[in-house]
Amino acid sequence: MKLHSQFLKLHSHYGQAAEISVTLDELALVLNCTHRNVLHIINKMVEQAWITWTPRRGRGHRSMMEFLVPSEEIALQSMMQAISRQDIQHAIEGIKTHARSSALQDTLQGWLLTYFGHHSEMRSDKQIDTLRLPITQQLHSFDPLYMNLLAESFIASHVFDGLVARRGEEDKIIPGLAHAWEVDESRTVWTFFLRKEVLFHHGKVLVAEDVVYSFQRLILTSQRTLYSFISKEIQEVSALGHSVVRIQLKQPNELFLPFLCTSRAAIVPRELEGMSELSFGRRPLGTGPFKVVEMNEDTCVLEVFPYYFQGRAHLDRVEVIYVPWDIEAASADNGAAFHVIQNPSSADPSSWSRIHSASSIRKFVTCNTKKKGPLSDPFLRAKIISCLQEESISIIEFEKVAEQPFSLQIATIPQYAGDADYIAAALARHGYACKIVTVSPEEFKGSIRLESDFIVFSLFRDQDEQLRLFDLYLTLAQHIEPHTRMDIESRLKRIAREPDPQARAAGFKQIECRLTSEHHLHILYEKPTQTAYLPSVRGVTFNSQGWVDLRHVWFPPLL
C-alpha cells in the first residue's frame, strides 16, 4: 500500500513528462526519505513493471525514469487493497485524492459496493446478516440532549424508545413503552401506564423512575434542544409506583403527545447519573431493537438486541460508516446507502426498485430585520428578495433608487453551504455583495443568526412537521420586528391549543403566507425523499422521519 502512495506521489510530481531526467537526491526529496531508501523504492517499482529506470553514474550525470502505467491504475489497485482490508477511510481518501475523472470515481465507487450493502456469513449453523450503510454526515452523539443531525436521530430511533410512537407513515400515535395513557379534562395532566419487563440494553428493567429521570434531565438542561418549547411547559413529572408516570403541564398543549414520539423524548436509564454525558452519547443505553457496540469518528456499529419488547429485528448487525464525499446519490441532509439508498440519483440502474416516503426537505432563507441594515427597509428587502426568484420579471417593477453600497452577511451550517453559495451568486448578479459565514450546528443556535442579514434554514417535512414548524417560527420571531413577532407568537399560542391537526396545519400556513408576503421568508426549493433498493432487500418500510426502518429489513436465507 505504501509503494502505491509513493508511486502516486512521484507521478503527481513528474507525471506530465513521458521521460524524466532526475537524480536520486531529487527523488529522495520528493519522497521525503534517505538516498538509500529511494533506491530500494525505485527497484521495487521496476520489479512491479510500473517504471523503467536507467541509472547513470558519475558527478553531473542524471538518471532516466519513465512511467509505464497510468496513475489511475495504481490508484485503483491501492483502493482495492484498502477495501479488501476493510480500511474504508483510506479507500475514500484515495478516491478523493486520485479520482480525477468521473469514470475512475465511478469505478472506485463500484468497488465499494463489494463492502457496503448486505453481507451474510454462516456461524455455528446460523446465518449472520450484516448491513453496511454509508452516510454523509459525521456522527457525534446519540444523547437525546446533544443530537444535532438527522443521521444521529436516525441511529437514535433504533437505539431508544419513547412512551408513545407513530405508526409508519400514518398520522396515528400508538403505544410505545407505555401501553396506555389518559388525560384529564383540563388536558394538562397526562398519566402513562408502562409495559412490564421491558429491558434496557444493559439488562436493567424499565421502571417509572427511569421515565421521571429522563424528563427531569430534559427540563433542567441548559442545552439548547429541539422542541424545548414543549419541555419548558412541563411543570412536574412523578412516578406513581413502578409502572405509572404522571406528567403535569403548565397549560394545555396539543403538540405534547406528538412530542413524546420524537427522539428528544427518548427514555434513558437513571443509571446515566453515574456516567459522563460524553461517554453516554457515544455508547448510549436504550430499550430499542439495536444497541451501540462501537462508536468512533468514522464508524458506528449496531448489534441486534434480541430481547426487544416488540420483537427481534431480522438483521444481526448494522455498520454505519461516514463517507466524506459528494456523490449524486448522497445528500447533506439524508444518509446514503448502496443497498438502501436515500435520494438516489437518476443515473442509477433500472434494476433498482424505488419507493417514495411521505417526507421531503424544504430549504429556505429568512431575513433578520432586527439588525439595523438594508433588510430592515421593507421596500429594499422586497427588492433584494426578488433577486432570488426564478423569474426576474418582478425585479424591473421596482423604481430605481440610489442605494449606498453595503454588504450582506449570510449565516448557515456546512450542510447548507451550497445553498448559501447559490444565494450569494444570485445576489451578486444584481450588484449585492455577500459574505458567507459557516458555523457548526451548535454555534448556529447562538448569536450568529442575530449578527447576520440572511439565515439559511432547512425544514424536514415528516410526521413531526408541526413540531418543526412551531420551533421554526418561534426561532424566526427572534429576528423579526416587534409588530410581526407579536402576531406570530399569538398565532402559535392558538395553534398549541388546537386539538384538530388540520386546523393546526391551516394556522401554520397563515403564518407562512404572512412571512412570505412581507419578504421575511423565501422558499428556495423543496424535494421529496426517495429510497432505492436492490430487489434482494425485503421489508422496506419507513419510520416517522421518512427513514428506512431497519428493524423490518431482511434478506432471503442463503441456500
pLDDT digits (tens, 9 = 90+) for 247-265: 999 999 999 999 999 999 9
Fold of 135-352+534-549: D-Maltodextrin-Binding Protein; domain 2 (3.40.190)
- Kindly state the percentage of the chain with pLDDT values over 70: 80
At 402, the amino acid letter reads A
Most confident of 76-85, 335-344, 464-473: 464-473
Averaged over 316-337, what is the pLDDT? Answer: 57
- Using the structure block, give the residue that is written with the C-alpha cell 442575530: 450
Averaged over 80-89, what is the pLDDT? Answer: 68
**284/266 Cα distance (integer angstroms):** 11
* pLDDT, greater one: 75 or 208: 208
Contacts of 319 (CB under 8 A, 6+ apart): 130, 131, 132, 133, 299, 300, 301, 302
Averaged over 307-316, what is the pLDDT? Answer: 95
- Using the structure block, give the residue that is written with the C-alpha cell 412490564: 196
Q: Where are the beta strands (DSSP E) in 380-490?
A: 407-412, 433-438, 454-461
C-alpha cell recorded at residue 127: 446465518
Environment class of 149 (CB within 10 Å of its CB; exposed 0-12, middle 13-18, buried 19+): buried
* pLDDT score for 336: 33
pLDDT digits (tens, 9 = 90+) for 35-54: 889 989 999 999 999 999 99
* Other Cβ atoms within 10 Å of 398 Cβ, number: 13
* pLDDT, greater one: 551 or 529: 551
C-alpha cell recorded at residue 474: 418561534
Q: Check pLDDT > 50 for residue 316.
A: yes
Fold of 1-69: Arc Repressor Mutant, subunit A (1.10.10)
* pLDDT score for 112: 62
Contacts of 359 (CB under 8 A, 6+ apart): 460, 461, 462, 463, 528, 529, 542, 545, 546
If you average pLDDT over every residue of the chain, what do you get? 83
Nearest to 328 by CA among 479, 472, 530: 530
pLDDT digits (tens, 9 = 90+) for 139-163: 889 999 888 888 888 899 999 999 9
Farthest CA pair distance, the chain: 100
pLDDT digits (tens, 9 = 90+) for 62-80: 899 999 988 877 877 877 7
**114/80 Cα distance (integer angstroms):** 10
- The DSSP H or E segment spanning 444 is helix 441-444
Name 53's bridge partners: 65
Q: Where are the beta strands (DSSP E) in 89-155?
A: 117-123, 126-135
C-alpha cell recorded at residue 537: 432487500
* pLDDT score for 343: 46
* pLDDT score for 355: 55
* pLDDT score for 181: 98
Expressed in angstroms, the distance from the first to the final Cα of the chain is 36
* pLDDT, greater one: 77 or 418: 418
**496/506 Cα distance (integer angstroms):** 13
Fold of 360-390+401-528: Dipeptide-binding Protein; domain 3 (3.10.105)
Q: Please indicate whether the domains covering 135-352+534-549 and 360-390+401-528 agree at the CATH topology level.
A: no
Residue 533: pLDDT band by 50, 70, 90 thresholds? Answer: low
Nearest to 452 by CA among 518, 515, 374: 374
**184/26 Cα distance (integer angstroms):** 83
Residue 200: pLDDT band by 50, 70, 90 thresholds? Answer: very high
Contacts of 136 (CB under 8 A, 6+ apart): 151, 322, 323, 324, 325, 326, 330, 331, 332, 335, 336
* pLDDT score for 331: 35
Name 20's bridge partners: 65
**544/149 Cα distance (integer angstroms):** 16
Q: Residue 362: how many CA atoms within 13 Å on its side-chain side?
A: 16
**337/118 Cα distance (integer angstroms):** 10
- Segment among 324-333, 360-369, 414-423 with least mean pLDDT: 324-333
- Using the structure block, give the residue that is written with the C-alpha cell 517499482: 45
**Could you state, in order of their start, the residue ranges of all structural domains in the chain?**
1-69, 135-352+534-549, 360-390+401-528
* pLDDT, greater one: 81 or 329: 81
* pLDDT score for 334: 36
Q: Check pLDDT > 80 for residue 9.
A: yes
Can you say how many angstroms the Cα of residue 339 is from the centroid of all Cα atoms in its chain? 18
Read off the pTM: 0.77
Residues 150, 333: contact at Cβ < 8 Å? yes
**437/448 Cα distance (integer angstroms):** 9
Q: Check pLDDT > 80 for residue 244.
A: yes
Averaged over 228-237, what is the pLDDT? Answer: 93
Query: Collapsing DSSP states into helix, strand and coil, what is residue 127?
Result: strand
